[in-house]
């Protein structure tokens, strides 16, 4: 059941499991995390060669820009990017990386919660009750 869920989550990522697995072999953070898996950390596992934290695929440093670009294009805005990113993937400092990406994105800035300015229209004075 969990393995099927992980496969479905990996299918939502903009990079393939094969790409992630290949880069995971050369990524220092992923290599260290793999040692935690072998040491029996229950929240970490390996699925199709990809490191998985609970059900989120751990993205190696080399692929993070690709994932961030896809999140930005598909889900502009800090809240949406963070929410969707947390559903499918994880890496150390992911929230900070999303924040930096959002600050340089005009589409993200345009969807921020900035209510439109409305001209003030005074009420008409009543002539009676």
β-strand pairing of 50-53 with 56-58: antiparallel
Q: What percent of the chain has pLDDT over 90?
A: 5
Q: Tell me the average pLDDT across 76-91.
A: 85
Give the model's pLDDT for residue 72. Answer: 83
Q: At 46, is the secondary structure helix, strand, or coil?
A: strand
Sheet with 89-90: strands ordered across: 44-47, 50-53, 56-58, 89-90
Q: For the chain, which residues make up each domain, given as ranges?
A: 2-110
Is residue 91 within 8 Å of 29, Cβ to Cβ?
yes
Coil, strand or helix at 10 = helix
According to the model, what pLDDT value does residue 11 have? 62
CATH fold of 2-110: Endonuclease III; domain 1 (1.10.340)
Q: What is the pLDDT of residues 25-74, one digit of tens each?
A: 788 877 777 777 778 877 888 888 888 888 888 898 899 999 998 888 88
Please give the Cα distance from 31 to 24 (Å, whole number). 7
């Amino acid at each position: 059941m969990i393995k099927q869920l992980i496969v479905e989550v990996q299918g939502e990522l903009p990079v393939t499991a094969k790409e992630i697995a290949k880069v995971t072999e050369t990524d220092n953070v992923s290599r260290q995390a793999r040692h935690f898996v072998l040491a029996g950390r229950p929240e970490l596992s390996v699925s199709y060669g990809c490191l998985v934290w609970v059900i989120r695929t751990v993205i190696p440093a080399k692929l993070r820009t690709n994932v961030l670009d896809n999140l930005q294009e598909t889900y502009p805005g800090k809240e949406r990017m963070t929410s969707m990113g947390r559903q499918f993937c994880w890496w150390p400092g992911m929230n900070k990386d999303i924040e930096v990406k959002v600050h340089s994105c005009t589409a993200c800035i345009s969807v921020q919660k900035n209510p439109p300015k409305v001209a003030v229209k005074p009420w008409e004075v009543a002539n009676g009750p």
